[in-house]
């Protein structure tokens, strides 16, 4: 009896690996979720700051000679910015949806350049500067527009950061390796106890860990053109509606509907 | 004896699933709580910035020709903004409570539009701009009012974000599935040991996980018109009292009371 | 032997509930601590912004005709704000300690109003506006004073938020229920193994969970007039000393001492 | 056999306490680390804002009649601020190292006052105000210097907050008590299984928990004049080098070296 | 039987140490990851604020007599700042890549100084001040440029903080010690149960903990010139491309490619 008590059984070893794996997986999924939620917050900030920017433009140019058409061109450039950023993050080369929001020559020029969305922000700031130097808006107004643009730049960079920075590779490789190691060890100790029932039970336990890993992989890259992405197109579409409404349009675009339960 | 030690028992398997489930559920409830608390903070920020906005308006227009009535119309629009946002987040189409805070024509126009609260912010900024261009407030004052409005826009967008972004669906489906799998496996190993007592004990263990899941579901959507919501109406009511008091009113509205222990 | 291995023992069930409970309690105490620390940070911000406000006032009115007496009246109102907020958060109706920092008529008026501290901020901003319109301070100075007041408003609202928002009730009820369920199940399996020693051991294990719950309850409401509160009176007292020192006073108030090891 | 399965063994009880203790200790050490890292961030912010302040001063007074000597006196006061704050947080009454950075009369006056570092910030702001009223710097420059000083005030208050707020006492007492309870229970069940080897093994297990607690205690108070402190003197020394370099000095102070591997 | 139940087996002890170790390691890896992600965010902020700074410069000097060459010199200094900071954080003394972005005399002077990147920020602010005093940009523009530079200073200091502050030494030493203790205890209880298979199994379990520790060590110091570093050179290269594009360059540098899968 004494002898028995000094021994460690296979069950203890398996349990221990199981606990380590659970804790590592718990951290894995929670940091994947944090990336996803941070990406969502960044897109939220893009919407908020776009609304603020257009609201500022509308109000600052009130009772000036700035035409509604001029105002619209700047507001549409901001809408184009959001669509363009979404397409770029997802690596989709088709920017044609954006063309309708830009002047033809601007579009022709920009489409050949490197960082499309970054240049759109610059172009809008050019337009604001022109308003200032022509006396339509004050220094104070320009200050505020520049501040809002700086925040938009932060969100642009934040989205690129999440897109371009993979989750630390040694960590994701190691947890993946551990799941497979565990998958190989587990059935060994089970065959004799359970007989043929061992196979479905072992598969079941292993699947649990593999599914968790898979969910983490899905969520951690929220701009990968898959169904659990941040719905960047739908968000840009919602912003388009809001901005057009603020400009006074009465006929608004349709809201993006879910296709097969998926909103992009 | 040696043989025994190399085997894994059903208890080990069940325990392992139990531990994985506990860790997943721990993360589930903690991120549900984070959503709820973030929503609460956003509503706190809406209150703070509304108070700041009205305080700024009152003080900036001191010793000017701006009438108390004019001041009141802007302050009431801000109160309307908070009530309207609350109703919209909860998907309640009845905006009649807001009508009393707005001019009749403004109300008639807004009620048909898409993003009601967003337009209220725009309308108030129109009013501030008018104060500036008529010389009642300085550029500096306008700068500050615009900054406060930008923060209100951030909170508006933040609340919409939490409302419109469900917790990642694969994650919530998977934990739900795991609870049910566990519920099916558990009784198998218990019947013989416990006899008929197995049934209540198994139910009891399973219920624990199901209740945790249910609590997470309740808390993670804090604008769903249920009893564990953020009490948006009560918060808007408290703001109404504070703002009216700041305007100098001596007769203040009644504070919302709990009905059956629930404050909405 | 095989048969035995397919069975789940009472110990496994109890362990599993114990693990779930441990994880839930771990989250319980960590979110209680987060509330407490957030409350402490808010009171820290109140001190920082009060110091900044008074420093700005002193420096902005340097070499102007603003008298030390006038300066003092605004600084004392700020001290009164902190004392009043502390008393209000703790639900203590005795505001007499504040009276000495305010003009008699201001005190007589305010004491009957709803949100005492909020109005004190408004009154100080009135005083700042008067300095601006009389030409003692510049638009830039007013801008800065208004910014600091806005941050004070945020902290005021943040403290009220923590005070008025209980920890989600279903969660705290459920963990409490689980502790009691566990307390009832545990002794069942122990009596025969341990004999009479079972009673103290079971009580001991149960007490551990109950004490953890009790600590969470104590910490999660940091303005409840108990010994583990944020020491709001001591903090206001320390601020009073700092501000009087900044005003040039050489005789400073005594620092609050601990009574029976407790600082309030 | 059935009977056996309904019983809970001593090992189950001990394991359960061990798990609870592990989770509590995990939270204990993680919140101690958070305090330590927050303190480090605050000292980082003090360095950043000091650099920004001096950079602003240098650039704003470029091409004015402000002498290098005058500039130096303000920059040195800022260095003195950091040394003084470090000494005060550690409760070291020897401020003599600071004397060389201040005018003799300023030093003689300040050394008798309560909140030394807070007054240094005030004195520098006096100096900035003088620059403004003498026309050397613009209102815009003053605005920026005031903003930087406000951030320094926040960091000053943040460091004081961590210094003066102990980790919640019931929590730290309770975990300490639990470690000791565990230490007393553990050997009971071990003597017969292991014989005399029980003693070193039990001591070993208990030591693990005691060391974790000790590490938490060390880290949670990062201004306690011990070897795992934030190295406030070394940080102030590094800032001194940076600021002197920015002022154009070519002969810079030596960098603090580690004594016995410890940097203070 | 009773007797047996009161005893604690070696497996219980080993399990308990395993659980403690798992929780400590979970915290270890999660805080290592937090350091790494914070460092990545800081480099993201450096990119964002650099883009904002150059965008501001371009727009503020539009329609003035500031030449493209002059603009370029300031933009290149900003690029040099990022390369220099990267080299300095990694302790690489070769700053030659930076020389091409600076004037020869500026380069000759700076290369001998202490805090190279900090002085580059100062020099750019000199240039901005010159633009202001020569009337090319307004006070408002200068205010904004100064704000952006202050944020760059914060990021500079933040990166230095992570570089210079090791993870608390007692904590990392203790977890390392615990892994080794565990490695020594584990095989003792296994030899007899498993025979020679004990050796690979024990090695396998121990390796899991050692690899986790190793990953934490790799990730926690993200500027250590290893393959899991923040890719500071690649980020600076990407910024160079963006800035040159904003300046209107049509021929852009090549993007850094991965060598053997590693991007630095």
Distance from CA of D241 to the nearest CA of C (A): 28
Helices (H), chain A: 2-5, 10-60, 68-89, 96-99, 104-110, 116-133, 139-164, 169-188, 191-194, 198-220, 232-246
C-E contacts at Cβ under 8 angstroms:
4
Output DSSP code: residue E257: P
Q: Which residues of chain D have a CB within 8 Å of the CB of A5? A: 193
Helix (H, G, I), strand (E, B) or coil at E262: strand
Which chain B residues contact residue E194 at CB under 8 A? 6
Work out how many CB contacts closer than 8 A connect A with D.
Answer: 4
- Cα distances from A191 to residues A7, A13, A158, A199, D40, in angstroms, run 22, 17, 51, 8, 54
* Nearest chain E Cα distance for residue C104, angstroms: 43
Q: Which chains touch C (3 or more CB pairs under 8 A)?
A: A, B, D, E
D chain contacts of residue A6, beta-carbon cutoff 8 Å: 193-194
Residue of A nearest to D19 (CA): A19
pLDDT tens column, E149-198: 999 999 999 999 999 999 998 898 999 998 888 887 777 666 666 666 67
Query: Of B193, B202, B218, B229, which to mutate for an interface test with C (greatest number of C Cβ within 10 Å)?
Result: B193
Give residue D207's pLDDT band: very low, low, confident or very high (50, 70, 90).
confident
Q: Is C168 in contact with B33 (Cβ distance < 8 A)?
A: yes
Tell me the three state secondary structure of residue B259.
strand
Chain A residue numbers touching E175 (CB-CB < 8 A): none
Most confident of A43-57, A248-262, B172-186, B208-222: A43-57
Q: How far is CA B219 from the centre of its chain?
A: 10
Set of chain C residues whose Cβ sits within 8 Å of the Cβ of E5: 193
- Contact indicator for E252, E241 with CB cutoff of 8 Å: yes
Question: For testing the chain C interface, which of A26, A140, A193, A198 should be mutated: the one with the most C CBs within 10 Å?
Answer: A193
Shortest Cα distance from C124 to chain B (angstroms)? Answer: 10
> What are the chain C neighbours of B63 within 8 Å (beta carbons)?
129, 133
Among B9, B125, B158, beta carbon nearest to A44: B158
Instruction: Give the pLDDT confidence score for residue E207 in this predicted structure.
Output: 87
Between A45-49, B193-197, C208-212, the lowest mean confidence (pLDDT) is in: B193-197
Q: What is the DSSP letter of C250?
A: S
CA distance C260 to chain B (A): 35
Q: How far apart are the CA of D124 and the nearest CA of chain C, in angstroms?
A: 10
Phi (first) and psi of residue C45, to 5 degrees:
-65, -35
Interatomic CA distance for residues D81 and D71, integer angstroms = 16
Cα separation, C69 vs E16, in Å, equals 67
Task: For chain B, list residues with pLDDT below 70.
Answer: 1-8, 188-197, 258-264
User: Min CA distance, E252 vs chain D (Å)?
Assistant: 33
Chain C interface residues (partner E, CB cutoff 8 A):
193-194
Beta strands in chain C (DSSP E): none
The residues, any chain, with a CB within 8 Å of residue D110's CB and separated by 6 or more, are D102, D116, D119, D120
How far A190 CA lies from chain B's nearest CA (Å)? 6
Is 0.95 exceeded by the ipTM? Answer: no
CB < 8 Å to D193, chain A: 2, 5-6
Q: What's the pLDDT band for D262 if we cut at 50, 70, 90?
A: low
Residue to substitute from A3, A4, A5, A143, interface D, most D β-carbons within 10 A: A5
**Chain B positions with Cβ closer than 8 Å to E:** 2, 5-6
pLDDT at position A2 is: 44
User: Which residue of chain C has the CA closest to A190?
Assistant: C5
- pLDDT above 90: residue A57: yes
- Over the stretch A162-207, which tens digit does the pLDDT of each residue have? 999 999 988 989 999 988 888 877 776 666 666 666 777 778 888 8
Residue with the bigger pLDDT between A242 and D255: it is: A242
- Which residues of chain C have a CB within 8 Å of the CB of A194? 6
Out of B11, B26, B52, name the one closest to residue C8 (CB). Answer: B11
Q: What is the mean pLDDT of residues C197-219?
A: 85
* Distance from C-alpha of D42 to C-alpha of D54, rounded to nearest angstrom: 18
- How far, in Å, CA of E140 to CA of E132, rounded? 10
Which residue is closest to B15 within chain A, CA to CA? A15
Q: Identify the pLDDT of residue D1.
A: 40
Inter-chain touch A143–E144, beta carbons under 8 Å: yes
Q: Report whether C246 contacts C233 (CB < 8 A).
A: no
What residue in E sits closest to C197 (Cα-Cα)?
E6
- Predicted confidence at residue B174, as pLDDT, reads 92
Q: At residue C110, does pLDDT exceed 80? A: yes
* A175 chain-B contacts, CB cut-off 8 A: none
Average pLDDT on D168-189 reads 84
- A14 — pLDDT class (breaks 50, 70, 90): confident
Q: CB-CB: which of A7, A18, A44 is closest to B19? A: A18
Min CA distance, D1 vs chain B (Å)? Answer: 9
The whole-chain average pLDDT of chain C stands at 88
Chains in contact with D, counting 3 or more C-beta pairs less than 8 Å apart as contact: A, B, C, E
CB contact under 8 A, A7 and E189: yes
> For residue A260, is pLDDT > 70?
no
Taking each helix axis from N to C end, the angle separating A139-164 and A10-60, rounded to the nearest 10 degrees, works out to 160
Please, what is the average pLDDT of chain A? 88
Per CB-CB distance under 8 Å, the chain B contacts of E193 are 2, 5-6
Give me the DSSP letters along A164-182. Answer: H-PSPHHHHHHHHHHHHHH
Answer whether C114 sits within 8 Å of B212, measured CB to CB. no
- B touches which chains (3+ CB pairs under 8 A)? A, C, D, E
Contacts with E125 from chain D: Cβ below 8 Å = 55, 59
Does residue C48 carry a pLDDT above 60?
yes
Q: Residue E5: which of B125, C195, B58 has the closest Cα? A: C195
Looking at residue D230, the DSSP 8-state letter turns out to be -
Identify all chain E residues contacting B2, using CB atoms and an 8 Å cutoff: 193
Q: For C114, which of B51, B209, B252 is closest by C-beta distance?
A: B252
Higher pLDDT, E192 or C263: C263
**CA closest to C192 among chain E residues:** E2
Residues of C in contact with D26 (CB under 8 A): 26
- What secondary structure letter does DSSP report for E224? S
pLDDT of res. D191? 62
- Interchain pair D189, E119: CB under 8 A: no
In the numeric block, which tokens belong to residue D189?
Answer: 């069940």
Q: Which residues of chain E have pLDDT under 50?
A: 1-4
């Amino acid at each position: 009896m004494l002898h028995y008590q000094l021994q460690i059984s296979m069950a203890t070893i398996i349990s221990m690996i199981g606990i380590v794996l659970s804790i590592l997986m718990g951290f894995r999924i929670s940091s994947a979720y944090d990336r996803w939620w941070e990406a969502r917050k960044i897109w939220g900030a893009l919407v908020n700051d776009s609304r603020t920017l257009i609201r500022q433009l509308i109000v600052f140019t009130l009772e000036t000679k700035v035409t509604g058409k001029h105002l619209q061109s700047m507001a549409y450039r901001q809408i184009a910015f959001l669509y363009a950023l979404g397409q770029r993050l997802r690596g989709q080369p088709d920017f044609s949806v954006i063309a309708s929001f830009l002047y033809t020559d601007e579009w022709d020029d920009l489409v050949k350049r490197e960082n499309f969305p970054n240049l759109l922000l610059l172009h809008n700031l050019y337009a604001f500067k022109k308003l200032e130097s022509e006396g339509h808006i004050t220094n104070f107004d320009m200050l505020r527009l520049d501040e809002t643009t700086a925040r938009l730049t932060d969100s642009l960079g934040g989205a690129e950061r999440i897109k371009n920075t993979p989750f630390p590779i040694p960590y994701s490789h190691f947890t993946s390796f551990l799941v497979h190691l565990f998958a190989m060890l587990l059935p060994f100790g089970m065959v004799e106890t359970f007989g043929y029932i061992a196979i479905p039970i072992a598969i079941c336990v292993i699947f649990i860990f593999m599914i968790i890993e898979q969910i983490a992989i899905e969520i951690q890259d929220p701009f990968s053109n898959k169904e659990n992405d941040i719905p960047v197109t739908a968000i840009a579409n919602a912003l388009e509606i809001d901005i057009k409404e603020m400009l006074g349009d009465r006929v608004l675009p349709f809201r993006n509907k879910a296709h097969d339960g998926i909103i992009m």
